[in-house]
A and B are shown apart, each in its own frame.
Chain A
Amino acid sequence: MKKALSMLLVLGLAGGLLSACGNSGNNGNSPQASSEASSAPSQAAATESSASEKKDVTLSYLASQDWIKEPEMKLAEKFEEQTGIHIDYQIVPSDQYFNVLKAKLAAGEAPDIFGGQSGKFDLGPLYDVENNAVDLTNEEWVKREDPLFIEQATWNSKVYALTIWDPSSSWIIVYNKKIFEKLGLSIPKSYAEFLSVCEAIKASGITPIYEPVSDGWHHVLWFPELGVRYEEQDPGLAGKLINNQEKFENAAVLEQSLSQFNELMQKGFFGDNALSNTYADTEKNMASGQYAMTVYNIGLPAQIEKAVPGSSAADYGFFPIPLNDNQGLNVNPAAPSKFISVSSKHIDEAKQYFAYLTQPENLQYLLDNEPKFTDLNFSGVKAKFNENQKAFFDTYGQHTGTVYQTAINYLNPQWMDIGKDMTAMIGKQMTPKDILKNIDKRREQLAKTAKDSNWK
């Protein structure tokens, strides 16, 4: 009897574990919610009603760190003053964001608005937008947004997200001109020259590259951002990968860039603290003069100048990520975007907020007050490029190509997994080949689940 009781006790306690799994596959997208979405009134009507009366509504907005800019929060305050609709921002650390978001979507606990990375191949596999997001195709701002960005926010001919981002925000190397001048260094034109530059900087006691690995996503940029160069080295590779006629594992150019990234790490060019460095500290660390370069957008110098008193944006220059001897400019029309949850009780109010944000004067306010942005993906907005930025685009802007996370299907959804793999490579637990094999494996899993005919 005692043994039986003991067994029952253990089974009971352990059984609690399994209870959580006994849930149906319903993502909380009730027919009621769907009908609410389809019967939503037009944006114009929503804006008109807001002008006449204030509502006591709070919209929850889940987003990853760094996706919501300060000027947008100011606009949200003004929006609340005008309409009474409060935006409750819930910012999640970037390394945990997709897990948190997908867990919430799966549990039917989605916020009213959620952030997500757009991408024409990813909206289905990554966010299941047909079941989780409201169709925004007929919103007025869709006509004014850059069609390249709209394409990345579209799934099965329907627009599901609003993207307000800098179309010129390619990930490139931002370098400290003073350090380069002091050491007599010039901009590297090849990977070999880049290695020499790093050697010289390291020898001077300065860490060559600031790399915030701890965020889990930033160090991945070194790999798929080089789409322009991969296509140059192996023409048609993207097409073959999309159609499953080629595997990542067999693509020598992809292994080459991962190996070179690993070489930079193993040679100590990222310093001792790369695994602990955070993206949020980039401005502070670059301004300190302890680091000479980092991968960032052209808006970083202005951010440094704003964040660190005494620093000057003019002290920084740019060149493309030189792995695989890259000299082209990587372009990515996919960016952090805003989706309205189909299960939200305030779909009209969320649409009203989107309409407010995309009013031309508000877009200009956002651009003028966000140092990271130099332009926006909407017509009628005046860009603010400085001389350094113009010079960079004049030099490298003639030779461009799309980044692989946007050009190739089933790659972007595994961004954070690739990040873990690359960290394991840094710790000598994996090889570049292992990473590529894992990418193939995850692509196959995603493709088969999506019933992609190329993977049958």
Chain B
Amino acid sequence: MTKRMYPFYFVSIALCFYVVFTVVPGLMGIYLSLTDWNSYAKEIHFVGLANFKTIFSSDENYLLGIKNTVIFTISTIMIKTVIGLLLAVLVNKGIKWKSLHRVILFLPAVIPMLVVGIIFKSIFEPQQGFMNEALRAIGLNAWTQHWLTDIQWAFKSIIAVDVWKGAGYIMVILLASLQAISNSYYEAAEIDGANAFMKFRFITVPLLMPALTVTTVLNLLYGLKVFDTVYVLTNGGPGYATEVVYTQVFSQFSLGSYGVGTALITVLFFIMTLLGYFAIKLMSREEQN
């Protein structure tokens, strides 16, 4: 029989704050997404699902924003996790000056996004930017691109910058879990004749699963809420090529169309809840296995 250590009212203050500052405004947000709230009219009218119809209408760009947000989230989760995991394994054992490398690799995570944006705008500048200059210097002129202004490359460049900034953070979380794995597992596996890949696949990855669950959920929530990276680097352009939900929300709010903006956030809220729930469920099953 489980006995509660503390009475329920211990959490009542925190719960009150949570209800007042998160649940109630959240519910108000959902209500406002069903209204014509805007900066030009004093009254707010209930309009049913009109804002959602606008969002899902095929001749609007909102679907592109939702699609880009999902693509950004999935690709950054995958790339950051793979790179973060490889870096964690590398700095855990296989490299000299481990501490120094850990600091260097984690450094991008603590640089403010605004600074990262300015740096990468300069790096990606097509004429004198470091990226194209470096490619030209090694004779790869044909590889030079308009990284942030070419519709084919702009979104990929944003993903690359986000991976550069976030991989070190994932590495640190995974590294902490990696260091908690006992050496005896690896020694036993060696005795059984396991090679490096088999040890990684059948010992490291399963034992890292709780940490991978955490990083995946964090990346998922971060990715779906992405704004600053896109805003600073391309502001959703060229044209609408790199629009994500939050740049569209920002535009709608600045245009005074609060109802549509709130409806967009509500859509994202449901996507986020569903994806988060399934990600946790799926990875919890993996953990149990």
Q: Which residues of A contact B (CB under 8 A)?
A: 2-3, 6-7, 9-23, 25, 27, 95-96, 98-103, 105-106, 124-125, 128, 213-214, 216, 272-273, 275-276, 420-421, 423-427, 429-430, 445, 449-451
Interface hit among B38-46, B166-174, B195-203: B38-46
* B238 lies within 8 A of A426 (CB): yes
Minimal Cβ-Cβ distance residue in A for B276: A10
Q: Which residues of B contact A (CB under 8 A)?
A: 18, 21-30, 32-33, 37-42, 44, 125-127, 146, 148-151, 217, 221, 225, 231, 235-241, 250-251, 253-258, 261-262, 265-266, 268-269, 272-273, 276-277, 280-281, 284
CA distance A283 to B125 in the complex (A): 19
CA distance A96 to B24 in the complex (A): 32
* A2 lies within 8 A of B146 (CB): no
- Which residues does chain A contribute within 8 Å of B238, judged by CB atoms? 213, 275, 423-424, 426-427
Tell me the number of A-to-B contacts counted with CB atoms below 8 Å.
155
Find the residue from B18, B255, B280 having the highest chain A CB count within 10 A. Answer: B255
Of the residues A22, A124, A213, A424, contact of B29 by C-beta under 8 Å: A22
CA distance A220 to B177 in the complex (A): 54
* A6 lies within 8 A of B277 (CB): yes
Of the residues A16, A100, A276, A429, contact of B149 by C-beta under 8 Å: A276
Known contacts A14-B221, A216-B235, A273-B127; A19/B280 CB under 8 A: no
Expressed in whole angstroms, the minimum distance between the Cβ of A215 and any Cβ of chain B is: 11
State the majority secondary structure of interface residues on B. Answer: helix
* A22 lies within 8 A of B273 (CB): no
CA distance A451 to B45 in the complex (A): 14
* B277 lies within 8 A of A25 (CB): no
Expressed in whole angstroms, the minimum distance between the Cβ of B5 and any Cβ of chain A is: 16
CA distance A216 to B234 in the complex (A): 11
8 closest residue pairs by CB, A with B: A22-B25, A424-B239, A18-B29, A275-B149, A21-B29, A10-B276, A22-B28, A102-B254
Expressed in whole angstroms, the minimum distance between the Cβ of A268 and any Cβ of chain B is: 14
* A95 lies within 8 A of B39 (CB): no
Expressed in whole angstroms, the minimum distance between the Cβ of A416 and any Cβ of chain B is: 9
A-B contact pairs, 21 of them (CB 8 A): A9-B280, A13-B276, A18-B25, A18-B30, A20-B29, A27-B39, A96-B235, A99-B251, A101-B254, A102-B255, A106-B39, A273-B146, A423-B238, A426-B239, A427-B238, A427-B239, A427-B241, A429-B151, A429-B241, A449-B41, A451-B41
* B39 lies within 8 A of A19 (CB): no
Expressed in whole angstroms, the minimum distance between the Cβ of B194 and any Cβ of chain A is: 32
- Which residues does chain A contribute within 8 Å of B27, judged by CB atoms? 18, 22
- Which residues does chain A contribute within 8 Å of B125, judged by CB atoms? 276
Known contacts A6-B280, A18-B30, A21-B29; A430/B239 CB under 8 A: yes
* B239 lies within 8 A of A19 (CB): no
CA distance A343 to B238 in the complex (A): 36
* B151 lies within 8 A of A427 (CB): yes
* A12 lies within 8 A of B18 (CB): yes
- Which residues does chain B contribute within 8 Å of A216, judged by CB atoms? 235, 237
CA distance A106 to B37 in the complex (A): 12
Of the residues B126, B237, B269, B273, contact of A273 by C-beta under 8 Å: B126
Known contacts A125-B40, A276-B127, A426-B239; A7/B254 CB under 8 A: no
- Which residues does chain A contribute within 8 Å of B262, judged by CB atoms? 18, 21
Expressed in whole angstroms, the minimum distance between the Cβ of B58 and any Cβ of chain A is: 13
CA distance A15 to B269 in the complex (A): 7
CA distance A6 to B273 in the complex (A): 11
Expressed in whole angstroms, the minimum distance between the Cβ of A232 and any Cβ of chain B is: 31
- Which residues does chain A contribute within 8 Å of B38, judged by CB atoms? 449
Of the residues A22, A102, A273, contact of B32 by C-beta under 8 Å: A22
Minimal Cβ-Cβ distance residue in B for A5: B280
A102-B253, A273-B146 given; name 16 further pairs at CB < 8 Å: A15-B269, A18-B266, A19-B21, A20-B29, A21-B25, A21-B265, A22-B26, A25-B37, A96-B235, A103-B250, A106-B254, A124-B40, A128-B40, A276-B126, A429-B241, A451-B41
* A103 lies within 8 A of B253 (CB): yes
Known contacts A14-B276, A426-B238; A3/B281 CB under 8 A: yes
* A423 lies within 8 A of B24 (CB): no
- Which residues does chain B contribute within 8 Å of A10, judged by CB atoms? 217, 272-273, 276-277, 280
Expressed in whole angstroms, the minimum distance between the Cβ of A207 and any Cβ of chain B is: 12
Minimal Cβ-Cβ distance residue in A for B32: A21
CA distance A124 to B148 in the complex (A): 35
* A18 lies within 8 A of B237 (CB): no
* B273 lies within 8 A of A14 (CB): yes
- Which residues does chain B contribute within 8 Å of A96, judged by CB atoms? 231, 235
Minimal Cβ-Cβ distance residue in B for A445: B257
- Which residues does chain B contribute within 8 Å of A429, judged by CB atoms? 151, 239-241
CA distance A27 to B38 in the complex (A): 11
* B258 lies within 8 A of A25 (CB): yes
- Which residues does chain B contribute within 8 Å of A6, judged by CB atoms? 277, 280-281, 284
CA distance A226 to B35 in the complex (A): 39
- Which residues does chain A contribute within 8 Å of B268, judged by CB atoms? 17
